């Protein structure tokens, strides 16, 4: 009688990737309601305590998984150089990076409806990131002479709110081309006119 060889122990990096991949697979194939610690642990070949130690909720785990597999080539938005483009082009470029899947948007909507601490924290983080981006972008527009004044916070958040609303209403339509076309429309028809209206002081 021979002893069965045990599978080699996964490294922390390998286990993390398997956990994230399992969460995404369950989300895409079975829906957000099945993204539980039990299901993810089972598919990833690990125990629930491993997940409980790292994440408070399945949504927190899913946020990290989405970020891990993000195809966005910009890893740090605070380092973007806005100096070589116009205000219009910079706005369109930033908005075109929106890449949330329809499955993730459904998960986000569910959490939003429950007003959970996790979604509150995520929403606040996104709000601060978006405000920071707009501050950078608008400061460059002032330096280049396109703008004289900055704008109010509600106008800074307007393009992102419009994009998020569209994603929530039509999550299946949010292909990269659709997002770019939508960004062009809202920048030309709504966002730029709103920004320029606040230059009349």
List Cα–Cα distances, 22 to 29, 104, 159, 194, in angstroms: 10, 14, 33, 43
Residue 10: pLDDT above 90? no
pLDDT (mean) for 182-199: 97
How high is the pLDDT of residue 43? Answer: 96
Q: Is the pLDDT of residue 3 over 90?
A: no
Interval 148-189: pLDDT, tens: 998 999 999 999 999 999 998 988 888 889 999 999 999 999
Identify the pLDDT of residue 71.
65
Supply the pTM of this predicted model.
Answer: 0.83
| Mean predicted lDDT score pLDDT of the chain | 90
Q: Where are the domains of the chain?
A: 12-68, 77-197
Q: What is the CATH number of domain 12-68?
A: 1.10.10.60
23-77 pLDDT tens trace: 999 999 999 999 999 999 999 999 999 999 999 999 999 999 998 988 655 656 6
Residue 1: pLDDT band (50, 70, 90) is very low
């Amino acid at each position: 009688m021979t002893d069965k060889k045990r599978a080699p122990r996964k490294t922390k990096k390998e286990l993390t990737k398997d956990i994230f991949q399992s969460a995404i697979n369950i989300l895409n194939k079975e829906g957000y309601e099945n993204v539980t610690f039990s299901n993810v642990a089972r598919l990833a070949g690990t125990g629930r305590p491993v997940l409980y130690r790292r994440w408070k909720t399945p949504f927190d785990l899913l946020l990290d998984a989405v970020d891990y597999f993000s195809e966005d080539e910009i890893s740090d938005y605070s380092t973007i150089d806005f100096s070589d483009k116009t205000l219009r082009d910079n706005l369109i470029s930033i908005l075109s990076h929106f890449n949330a899947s329809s499955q993730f948007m459904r998960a986000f909507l569910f959490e939003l409806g429950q007003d959970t601490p996790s979604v509150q924290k995520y929403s606040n983080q996104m709000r601060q990131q978006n405000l920071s981006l707009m501050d950078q972008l608008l400061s460059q527009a002032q330096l280049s002479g396109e703008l004289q004044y900055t704008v109010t916070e509600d106008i800074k958040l307007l393009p992102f709110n419009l994009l998020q609303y569209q994603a929530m209403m039509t999550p299946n339509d949010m292909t990269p081309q659709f997002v770019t076309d939508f960004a062009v429309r809202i920048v030309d028809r709504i966002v730029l006119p709103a920004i320029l209206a606040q230059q009349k002081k």
